[in-house]
Amino acid sequence: MDNIFKLWFALLTIIRVSESTSILSIPLYHRAIVKRETVMEHDEPNAEATTNIFPADDVYAMFLGVGTPVQIVFLMIDIGSPITWFQCGPCTHCYPMRRPLFNSPASTSFRQLGCYDDTCLIPMMRGIFGNCKGWNCRYNVEYDMKSQSRSFGVMVIDTLNFEHSNVEVNDFVMGCGNSYESPFKTQFSGVLGLERGPLSIQNQLHSKAFSFCIVSLGSEKPSSLVFYETLPK
């Protein structure tokens, strides 16, 4: 995973993005930032937590507003994940988290997808959805071949809101996790999927390209993830 991230980062840094129109720019948080009690105990990060961000390894994350009314989740960014998912309550077998579970019954815009929804019938997603049986469209995603970490759950749609932006996305397709195998990091609610595919966040934003701006070690400036509506020239 580390090598894949470094390769993608190297390719992305070659792209000239100054002439392209951006849809959205999202501040990124290094994994160490979530150890701050101010971040973990409040629904939104405070000014200090937002500005004092620095890279020390390859794990970055972002805050995302989900549902109506908005609930905050904290997602690890993964360019190898085909979907975005986070743990939802009620949950049968969730891994321990420092943040509250997303309360799906409290969101008026939340809806589960069935086996015959168009999303569940996408041919290239059969490896994730399998042979759908019953009412719910279920997913099964494996992340680490060594530890065999897996997330299981149902596919849903809900509204997304992005931090420091007025961008709102209705009917965003994502996974509502309710079971897992092997460990996941307790500070994260789930995973933001950036793999190329129909259900990646960039595809659902109708973005033609995205880039990371990762600051150097020791910098107090925030890193960012930017989505573009046109291809960079």
In a domain, 126, yes or no: no
DSSP state of 114: B
Overall number of domains in the chain: 1
Residue 213 pLDDT grade (very low, low, confident, very high; cuts 50, 70, 90): confident
Kind of pairing, strands 138-144 and 60-66?
unpaired
pLDDT tens digit sequence for 57-107: 456 778 889 999 999 998 888 888 899 999 998 887 888 888 889 999 999
Mean pLDDT for the chain overall? 73
Distance from C-alpha of 75 to C-alpha of 96, rounded to nearest angstrom? 15
* 120 falls within a domain: no
> 23 and 160 in contact (C-beta within 8 Å)?
no
Residue 48 sits in a domain whose CATH number is 2.40.70.10
In a domain, 116, yes or no: no
- What is the per-residue pLDDT for 131? 75
Q: Which residue has the higher pLDDT, 163 or 98?
A: 98
The token duo for 168 is: 């709102």
Q: Which two tokens stand for residue 70?
A: 């908005």
Q: Does residue 26 fall inside a structural domain?
A: yes
- What pTM was computed for the model? 0.75
How many beta carbons lie within 10 A of that of residue 10, not counting itself? 9
Cross-strand pairs, 111:
157
94 domain residue, yes or no: yes
Is residue 130 over pLDDT 90?
Answer: no
* pLDDT recorded at residue 144: 67
Exposure string over 196-210, b if 16+ CB within 10 A, otherwise e: ebebbbbebbebebb
CA–CA distance, 178 with 140 (Å, rounded to integer):
11
In a domain, 129, yes or no: no
Give residue 104's pLDDT: 94
CB-based burial label for 53 (10 Å; 0-12, 13-18, 19+): buried
Q: Please indicate, yes or no, if residue 48 is contained in any of the structural domains.
A: yes
Domain that holds residue 205: 2-109+141-228
Does residue 194 sit within a domain? yes
Is the predicted pLDDT of residue 8 greater than 60, yes or no? no
Of 12-21, 32-41, 69-78, 188-197, where does mean pLDDT reach its minimum?
A: 32-41
Whether 117 contacts 123, CB under 8 Å = no
